[in-house]
Structure 1
Amino acid sequence: MKKIYFLTALFCSILLHSQERYFLNSDTRLYTSPNSASFLGYFRYGAEVRLLSESQNGWYKVQADNFNEGFVQEKFVATRLNAKDVKIKDPQNPILEGGDAYYGGNHLFVLAAGLKARALPDKNSKIKEILFTGDPVAVNYVPVNQDDWVNINGNFVEEYAQYTLRKFIGPRPDFDALLKEFDKLNKDALQDRKTVSERIVELAWNSEYSKLAPAYQRYYEVVKQINDPKLIADTEMNMALAAALAKHKLPEQITAFTQKAEFSLKGTKTKSLYLSQTQLVKIFGSPVKKASVGDECGVYLSDLFYYYPDLEVSVDEKKNQAEIVKVYINENNKFIINPNTILDNSISEKTFIEKYGTYIEASIKSPHNYAIIMEDSQFRLVFKDGKLFSVEIIFYC
């Protein structure tokens, strides 16, 4: 029945005012009926609504972006927003406005670890994204009911809309408060300790690197209680990563570390990230595939790419030049960061972190992927099954 309801509501709303989009030019609430004090939720300035009726005594029946239906005053509905709008702020509105250090528009923060963002307001709907504690999410309307759904992309377009329950989003969690909450828990309350420690770790990754060590310290206590060997090994590696990231090198130190970077391809050193097309073909032969790659930013040597089983290269055939874009590390290919730092397919992820972790950037959202940041580009190193798998050079637009 829920799916029929969604389709019917959507069909009706498309029929009415189908050529227009409507926005709220002020904070307001979604009332259960005209002139009522009872309301379903809060709108922030800029929220989009769908009109479900013509104006009735100064009120429109509208649909919010989570499919809640109710009434708003006609004076707050506009086809466009502009700088002259007189925004009446609702002090009880829980939605945070843009301008903080985390998000530029109306938003709230994820409170739960590993939060599933779904394609529709239905617990059986497709999972579109996994979000982490402390992630900001775009919110223009929130219902009062904590068990109701929220559109956390603030968008009616099905391609972009994502939903979660209201109770899982709110003000940004406080890291120190979570640490105290964990430390007060009885050690026998394993599930509660696991839940809180997962939130602490995710929030630490959404904060400063200095918070990772105390976060993993708590999480490691729980992991040892669970006694899963793989989980213990992974956590110990992340603890090593946390220790390294807390001692992150300065940009000039990283530049000095990487300025002589090159590859060894089938025993031939490239002397830089470039080589001639003639040299490329001599080493690897004719490419398996040639393709033109759209390069709107103009960051590559050429739009023409040569693809080999273990190499991707941008090639300017007229100038006899080739620029390395991605190398798969194997028995033939090595990444030489400098004469004292040669990475081949035998180096383990843990060893790499322990030796060079102070030079890298990392994220919980891209596990086993590490970046070495340079002025106009970065080296992206990917590990698979505990070993170095590939190195990609990513240029900034």
Structure 2
Amino acid sequence: MKKYHFIAALLFCSILLQAQERYFLNSDTRLYTSTSTSAEFLGYFKYGAEVQLLSKNENGWYKVKADNLSEGYVPEKFVGTRLNAADIKTVDNENPVLAGGDQYYGGNHLFVLVAGLKARALPDKTSKIKEILFTGDPVPVNYLPKNQDEWVNIGGNFDYENAKFTLRKFIGKRPDFNTLIKEFDKLNPDAIAERKTVAERIVELAWNSDYSKLAPAYQRYSEVVKQLNDPKLIADTELNVSIAKGLDKHKLPEQIVAFTQKTEFILKGIKTKSLFLTQKELVKTFGKPAKTASIGDECGVYLSDLFYYYPDLEVSVDEKQNKAEIVKVFINENNKMILNANSVLDNTITEKAFIEKYGTYITASIKAPHSYSLQFEDSEFRIEFKDGKLFFIEIFFYC
């Protein structure tokens, strides 16, 4: 516990120093143990990395702190208070950190190599978990230590609110899907724990790739799940297999929009026109709202900044124009969604039945289980299930 508080104090002090002045590296370089390029080095900096100065210029060198709290020396010529297009960058070909510009990430980055990686608030195994990352996720990296057992800040900067840490050995070059498949297929069928580890990575990487990879990923994962004989895991996997089959035959955007363009709701017997009804109809049907609030709508996507909140409904309301626009509906015996004459989403539909019927229209993510999206004009429906039953439908308006 003392170690935890000590690290927290160091971070706090770092934030105070940063507030006074910010310094950046205008070239690839390394963090040296002394003021010489022939000295041992601790890790690699990528162009644009932020550092904190710990000492004044010492014969052309600064003592600095990296964003993972490691301390060492860098050449003074690479340190500046800003970055600009005129910077003459020296590229370190041995630096493992990838520059921005690929299809995955715009800045300096590496990729998660393991399944369910815990990103922590501090460089300490006992600190709070801030995020769970998945195999193939790109993460920002500006400083990378050589030591595989040291910590890396994958939050992008020194800011305590954004700082996230993981061990160096868990990130690297993006895993190759086919290589993982071959690795799994070579394993002894009795090596269940190892097969599970590799299968989890395959599944997560498939979700981070394209839909066509989901079927072969779940084929192998299902083999392991059957060996484990865990009823809940088997049920969850069967559901994910159904999702994968639907996504593999995903409809074109124009087909999805055509399918949803006449969507409307029935709320306590009142049929809406698309997503709209009058404010008078709303109050007559639902009574006075339990709560009203004015929200900040910078994008201007809602009908009005004024929101009415009911136990099973959220609505944007323009009282002067006598208009109300549906934002969120909790599905129950009174409320349902009508996609078309043959497609009704009500409180009787199960998650499994929904996937089997609409799997080719929806989008899904391993990071948001039991939550699906369905495109609708310049917005989308967020469809949420709870305990296998339809829970609510929320309209997400694009900015």
Shorter chain as normaliser: what TM range? Answer: over 0.9
SS in 2 for 1:359: coil
SS in 1 for 2:281: helix
Q: Does structure 1 retain, via aligned residues, the 8 Å contact 2:4–2:124?
A: no
Q: 1:61 aligns with which of 60, 63, 76?
A: 63
Q: 1:40 aligns with which of 36, 39, 42?
A: 42
What is the distance in 1 between the residues matched to 2:345 and 2:19?
59
Aligned equivalent of 1:97:
99
SS in 2 for 1:383: strand
Aligned equivalent of 2:31:
30
Q: Does structure 1 retain, via aligned residues, the 8 Å contact 2:33–2:72?
A: yes
Residue 259 (str. 1) matches residue 256 (str. 2):
no
Aligned equivalent of 1:243:
245
Which letter does structure 2 place at the counterpart of 1:2?
A: K
Displacement of 1:281: 1.1
What is the distance in 2 between the residues matched to 1:240 and 1:52?
56
What is the distance in 2 between the residues matched to 1:124 and 1:146?
19
Aligned equivalent of 1:191:
193
What is the distance in 2 between the residues matched to 1:8 and 1:278?
57
SS in 2 for 1:101: coil
Q: Does structure 2 retain, via aligned residues, the 8 Å contact 1:248–1:359?
A: yes
1:13 and 1:197, CA in 2 relative to 1: closer, same or farther beyond 3 A? closer
Aligned equivalent of 2:134:
132
Q: Does structure 2 retain, via aligned residues, the 8 Å contact 1:16–1:52?
A: no
What is the distance in 2 between the residues matched to 1:227 and 1:321?
54
What is the distance in 2 between the residues matched to 1:195 and 1:392?
35
What is the distance in 2 between the residues matched to 1:289 and 1:211?
46
Q: Does structure 2 retain, via aligned residues, the 8 Å contact 1:264–1:336?
A: yes
1:79 and 1:337, CA in 2 relative to 1: closer, same or farther beyond 3 A? same
Which letter does structure 1 place at the counterpart of 2:22?
A: R
Displacement of 1:374: 2.8
1:186 and 1:283, CA in 2 relative to 1: closer, same or farther beyond 3 A? same
What is the distance in 1 between the residues matched to 2:8 and 2:227?
48
1:7 and 1:312, CA in 2 relative to 1: closer, same or farther beyond 3 A? closer
Aligned equivalent of 1:179:
181
Structure 1 gaps, min length 5: none
Matched ranges for 1:82-231 at <5 A: 82-231=84-233
Aligned equivalent of 1:377:
379
What is the distance in 2 between the residues matched to 1:87 and 1:11?
31
What is the distance in 2 between the residues matched to 1:390 and 1:290?
20
CA offsets 1:281-340 (integer angstroms, 9 cap, x no match): 111111111111111110000000111110000000001000000000001101111111
Which letter does structure 2 place at the counterpart of 1:214?
A: P
Residue 333 (str. 1) matches residue 335 (str. 2):
yes
SS in 1 for 2:34: coil
Q: Does structure 1 retain, via aligned residues, the 8 Å contact 2:32–2:41?
A: yes
Aligned equivalent of 1:352:
354
What is the distance in 1 between the residues matched to 2:185 and 2:59?
57
What is the distance in 1 between the residues matched to 2:231 and 2:12?
53
Aligned-pair Cα RMSD in Å: 1.4
What is the distance in 2 between the residues matched to 1:76 and 1:349?
56
Displacement of 1:17: 7.8
Aligned equivalent of 2:317:
315
User: Larger deviation: 3-12 or 121-130?
Assistant: 3-12
Q: Does structure 2 retain, via aligned residues, the 8 Å contact 1:17–1:51?
A: no
Matched ranges for 1:267-282 at <5 A: 267-282=269-284
Which letter does structure 2 place at the counterpart of 1:384?
A: K
Displacement of 1:5: 5.0
Q: Does structure 1 retain, via aligned residues, the 8 Å contact 2:120–2:131?
A: yes
Q: TM-score, normalised by structure 1?
A: 0.98
Structure 2 gaps, min length 5: none
Identity of aligned residues (%): 75
Displacement of 1:37: 2.7
Q: Does structure 1 retain, via aligned residues, the 8 Å contact 2:261–2:377?
A: no
Displacement of 1:13: 5.4
Which letter does structure 2 place at the counterpart of 1:52?
A: L
